[in-house]
Amino acid sequence: MQILIVGCGNVGLTLIDQLSKEGHNITVIEEKSDVIQNVVNNYDVMGIVGNGASYSIMKDAGIESADLMIAVTNSDELNILSCLFAKKAGNCSTIARVRNPIYKKEVDFIRDELGLSLIINPEEAAAMEASRLLKFPSATKIEQFVKGRTELVKITVNEDSRLCNKTLKEIQAEIKSNVLISVVARGEEVFIPDGSFVLRANDEISVIGTSKDTLQFFKKLKMPTARVNSTLIVGGGATAYYLAKSLIEAGIQVKIFEKDNARCKQLTELIPEALIINADGTDKEMLFEEGLTRMESFVSLTNLDEENIMLSMFVKSVAPKAKLITKVHRVNYDEIIGSMGIGSVIYPKYITAERIVSYVRGMSNSRGSNIESLYKMNDDRVEVLEFNVRKDSPVIGIPLQNLDIKKGVIIARINRGFESLAPSGQSMIRGGDTVIVVTTNTGFHDIEDILQK
């Protein structure tokens, strides 16, 4: 597809990286010439210096023949205006990043009346991810596929777990579960395990199954499956507001630390069910006074990455059983943070980019591609792909054990109608199925790419 991207911040760069790899023709519009130069030097894209809301600039960028325009600058108004101009000038699909909560009530109007295809709010999206994790505290990450009917859940294996020091075959014989352990991360190594693979303490495993099967799996492991009952949030920004609203609706007690007095007054009016504390969240005495060690979860949502990380490390030391969630903006902290053991880390920019890329794949699918969704994990070393299987595919009607599948590939789930099936060696794929594939290989475009040529 021909795609225009307005804005080259972290979200824009993540989109450029992913969408150019997937074979789309990308044109980037950005006001800073040095940023454009850097993008053009590092990616196979065309760059134009200018204002993304300018008709002449858009025309130079090829808006009249574009399939999609994505506006992800730091200005909500500029993003909306860029989409409006693009819609009128090129009649293409448009996506805007809109962050200000004041527009929350007008989202439907903005989308419908101005003709936007998708509006994404990074703070709200991050809050919803945090909310899912607090409602299932054993998980460090939760991703959904097949319109929510299949989940990928990440957990860490503890020394006293029933999984520790056992092969996957032994685990299946003992627990008899319909989930699949599809990826194991051990230190710097990542494995697509087979039945003889032995799990060790501190391994991070990715489990794929329906939410019902996953819940039963964790119950058999005697891991917590109920939501937390209380949470303490430091930082009273937009993400905290959206998160608190979601948690309160689920019956979870919420306390929010916010040092700005005016913002505290706003939050008190917006979410009266939450306890708003006008104090600095880095004040240890205040945290203890407000029952930090009795809270079941802790979420650090300040605007400073370093502060969030340090707060989570501190809470881990004084309340080791609390579920921790840490918000981080700068994506280049990935590798360092992964070794700190501070629970779940959410990256609003990654979440935003993933939502947009998912929409783009949906558009591509309607034009002939059969990748429904693609999720990258473990520092992009593993891909989880959801394929739509065509009726003429070479994988149809053959038992999986007889398919010549490449190494580093596992078929994790076969979805047929409203059924989500855990595959065995005798399972066969049919035309019209959607199939979830987990692989350490990259660049697959079709389900037949899993086969040895």
Residue 5's beta-bridge partner residues?
28, 70
- E-only strand ranges, 355-402: 371-377, 382-388
Architecture of the 230-350 domain: 3-Layer(aba) Sandwich (3.40)
Mean pLDDT of the chain: 89
CATH of range 2-120; options 3.40.50.1700, 3.40.50.720, 3.90.960.10, 3.30.530.80: 3.40.50.720
* Distance set, CA 5 to CA 9, 150, 444 (Å): 11, 31, 24
- In Å, what is the CA distance from 38 to each residue of 16, 30, 280? 12, 11, 39
Place of tokens 């299987």: 389
Q: What value does the mean pLDDT take over residues 270-276?
A: 96
Distance CA 256, CA 44 (A): 45
**One-letter amino acid of 371:** I
More confidently predicted of 443 and 127: 127
| CATH 3.30.70.1450 correct for 370-450 | yes
Q: Which two tokens stand for residue 368?
A: 């002939």
CA-wise closest residue to 324 among 310, 304, 303, 306: 310
**In whole angstroms, what is the distance from residue 242 CA to residue 259 CA?**
18
Question: Which residues are CB-contacts of 82 (< 8 A; sequence separation ≥ 6)?
Answer: 6, 52, 53, 58, 69, 71, 73, 96
- pLDDT of 104 over the 80 cut: no
- Torsion on CA atoms 181, 185, 186, 187, rounded to nearest 10: -170
Question: Which runs of consecutive H residues, i.e. helices, occur in 225-260?
Answer: 238-249
272 band by pLDDT with thresholds 50, 70 and 90: very high
Residue 349 has what pLDDT?
83
Burial class (CB within 10 angstroms; exposed 0-12, middle 13-18, buried 19+) of 391? exposed
Q: Give the fold, CATH level 3, of 131-220.
A: Alpha-Beta Plaits (3.30.70)
For the cut 70, the answer to whether the pLDDT of residue 249 exceeds it is yes
Identify the helix (H) or strand (E) that includes residue 76.
Answer: helix 76-90
Q: Is 401's pLDDT higher than 90? A: yes
CA distance linking residue 185 with residue 197, whole number of Å: 12
The continuous run of DSSP H or E covering 26 comes out as strand 25-30
Whole-Å CA distances, 19 to 68, 332, 334, 427, 446: 12, 20, 21, 33, 16
312 neighbors 298 (Cβ within 8 angstroms): yes
Domain map (residue ranges) of the chain: 2-120, 131-220, 230-350, 370-450
Classified as helix, coil or strand, 143 is: strand
Worst-scoring range by mean pLDDT, 34-38, 84-88, 227-231, 239-243? 84-88
Full-model pTM:
0.80
User: Are the folds of 2-120 and 230-350 the same?
Assistant: yes
Contact indicator for 346, 354 with CB cutoff of 8 Å: no
What is the structure's pLDDT at 333?
A: 60
Q: Please report, as a single letter, which amino acid is at residue 432.
A: G
Both tokens of 21, joined, read 């790899």
